[in-house]
Amino acid sequence: MKRWILLLFCLCFLAGCWDRREINELAFVSSAAIDKDGDRWHVTVELFEPGGMQGEKSNSAKGRQGWLVEAAGESIFSAIRNLAKVVPRRVYWSHCQGIILGEEAAKEGLAEFLDFCVRDQEVRSSVLLFVSHGKAKKLVIETVGSIDDTLGLQLAGLANIAKLASSNLVTTVRDFSVDLATDGVSPMLCGLKLVPTKTLPGSFSSKDGDVKAASGVKVQLEGQALFRQTKMVGWLPENQVRGILWILNPPTGAIINVKVPGTQQRVSLELVKVRSNLQLKANGGERRLVIGVEGEISLGGQASSRNLNLAASARSLQRQCEAVIRNEIQQAIETAMKLQVDPFGFGHFIHTKDPKYWHRVRTNWPEKLPPISYAIEMKLVSSGLKTGGPALERRLDK
């Protein structure tokens, strides 16, 4: 017992608060932008500003609350360490929400950056990764505030909610590394773009009650950056991203716009339930890839006055919907083929199903992609809370 007490005593005073750092001695990174200029890495970090956030929140046009700092270095690590020349506190990466990579840096290759992220114990593997259109630094510096305090929080929020728009797939360091390590998958990252908003209404000023036009630009998710190994090879345009999503992460809640049968009027359908599956059919030495998507749709809104719940129009809507999905997938595959990448992971799928066949084609992947057929089946299950067309039109008819 005496020895135990002595040991405890020694422990307390010999260890002496090693590694101790008070929470207010840290500078929390909210988001970071990484660019490469020639052979120098530029790191721009947006730090949470604890003091600044204490201010009156009701103040008009609440701007961004972060503090922006930039540093450069020969390697990414030295650039980050050089931040200490500017920031009077220890730069702390564990709460970093998102890292934005410059398009140039991505095109040059992310090997060094990724290795740093995975090796360093502070940067989490759940950090969101983005590729900016143009310089990443510009994006971090120029964007104005949103309803969130910092760009980092805004990105984290977008990652959660962007699924609804189903035009992006936000990925993390972990996703990227896993894709990179997997045979037959090409990694991809979500794109970010600055959008000028000249007539943007800001927030209401509490003092005079009028609307202030906030000048400046905002960030927006835009497109998907496709990679071959660690090098970015090109963009998948925004309207094709859903083609990948149908296979990788079927977007429940996606809206598909089709025409009311027999008219040119639009009707939007909401996907209530959707599931996809891949199949590899063998026929002698030949293989055929079958992409299956099945789901349930519900009527979201229409412009005509017809009652679309009738069996005949339902069938037409379903067929149109299936065609749209098929078209989207085809377009995405086309773009990917052009760039010689496979973000769908077809190669990985074939590897698991038919390893022998995979070893025959892997050297020329993804050129040797087998012919693809589609099995898409959608079912109209609900017309929402009403059956007829817009009430307004019916009233006009009278």
Partner 1 sequence: MRKLRRKTGKKVQFRHDPAPEELLQTLNEVPLFSELEAVLEKIQEIFGQAADLVTRRLKVNSGQLALVYLDGMVNKTSVEKVLNEILLIRPQAEDAGLRLGTDLVRWLERGLAVGNVKVEESFGGVVRGILNGETALLADGEGEALLLETEEFEKRAVSEPQVEALVRGPREGFVENIGTNLTMIRRRLRHPSLRVEKLVLGDLTNTKVAVLYLEGVALEAVVEEVRRRIRQIKIDGVLESNYLEELIEDSPFSIFPQIGTTERPDRAVASLLEGRVLILTDGTPFVLYVPMIFTSLIHSPEDYYHRWHLVLGIRLLRTLGFFITLFLPSVYIALTTFHQELIPTPLAISLAMQREQVPYPAAVEAFLMQLIFEILVEAGLRLPRPLGQAISIVGALVIGEAAVQAGLVSAAMVIVISTTAIAAFLFPSYELSLSVRLLRFPMMLLSSVLGLFGIFYGLMLLLTHLVQLRSFGLPFMTPMAPFFARDQHDELFRAPWWAMRKRPKIIGSSDPTRQTSSISRKHLELEAEVEERKKEK
Query: What is the per-residue binding string for partner 1 in 29-68, x denoting contact by CB under 8 A?
Result: -------------------x-xx-xx--------------
Indicate whether 20 belongs to the interface with partner 1 (CB under 8 A).
yes
Output the smallest distance, CB 5 to partner 1, in A. 10
Output the smallest distance, CB 212 to partner 1, in A. 27
- Cross-strand pairs, 29: 47
- Nearby residues of 305 by Cβ (< 8 Å), 6 or more positions away: 388, 389, 390, 393, 394, 397
Q: Which stretch binds partner 1 (CB under 8 A): 88-96, 179-187, 356-364, 388-396?
A: 88-96
DSSP 91-154: EE-TT--EEEE-HHHHHH--HHHHHHHHH-SSS-TT-EEEEESS-HHHHHHHB---SSSSHHHH
Indicate whether 88 belongs to the interface with partner 1 (CB under 8 A).
no
Indicate whether 2 belongs to the interface with partner 1 (CB under 8 A).
no
- Contact between 327 and 256 (Cβ < 8 Å): no
- Tell me the C-alpha distance between 323 and 118, whole Å: 42
Query: What is the per-residue binding string for partner 1 in 325-364, x denoting contact by CB under 8 A?
Result: ----------------------------------------
Total residues contacting partner 1 by CB under 8 A comes to 28
- Contact between 190 and 168 (Cβ < 8 Å): yes
Q: Which stretch binds partner 1 (CB under 8 A): 8-16, 350-358, 362-370, 371-379?
A: 8-16
Query: What is the per-residue binding string for partner 1 in 90-129, x denoting contact by CB under 8 A?
Result: --x-xx-x------------------------x-x-----
Output the smallest distance, CB 174 to partner 1, in A. 16
Which residue type does 165 have? A
Give 116 or 374: the residue with its C-beta nearer to partner 1: 116
And the tokens for 210?
């009028």
Output the smallest distance, CB 140 to partner 1, in A. 18
Helix (H, G, I), strand (E, B) or coil at 288: strand
Give 4 or 396: the residue with its C-beta nearer to partner 1: 4
- Tell me the C-alpha distance between 40 and 107, whole Å: 15
Output the smallest distance, CB 94 to partner 1, in A. 4
Give 50 or 384: the residue with its C-beta nearer to partner 1: 50
- Tell me the C-alpha distance between 252 and 298, whole Å: 11
Q: Which stretch binds partner 1 (CB under 8 A): 13-21, 235-243, 272-280, 320-328?
A: 13-21
Residue among 25, 163, 159 at smallest CA distance from 92: 25
Output the smallest distance, CB 32 to partner 1, in A. 15
Residue whose structure tokens are 């009738």: 310
Residue 237 CB-half CA count within 13 A: 5
Indicate whether 23 belongs to the interface with partner 1 (CB under 8 A).
yes
Output the smallest distance, CB 54 to partner 1, in A. 6
Indicate whether 4 belongs to the interface with partner 1 (CB under 8 A).
yes
Output the smallest distance, CB 150 to partner 1, in A. 9
- Nearby residues of 1 by Cβ (< 8 Å), 6 or more positions away: none
Buried b (16+ CB within 10 A) or exposed e, 287-311: bebebebbbbbebbebbbbbebeee
Give 21 or 275: the residue with its C-beta nearer to partner 1: 21
- Tell me the C-alpha distance between 366 and 186, whole Å: 10
C-alpha distances (whole Å) from 282 to each of 32, 346, 366 are 48, 15, 18
Per CB under 8 A, residues contacting partner 1 are 1, 4, 8, 11-12, 15-17, 19-24, 26, 28, 48, 50-51, 53-54, 92, 94-95, 97, 122, 124, 153
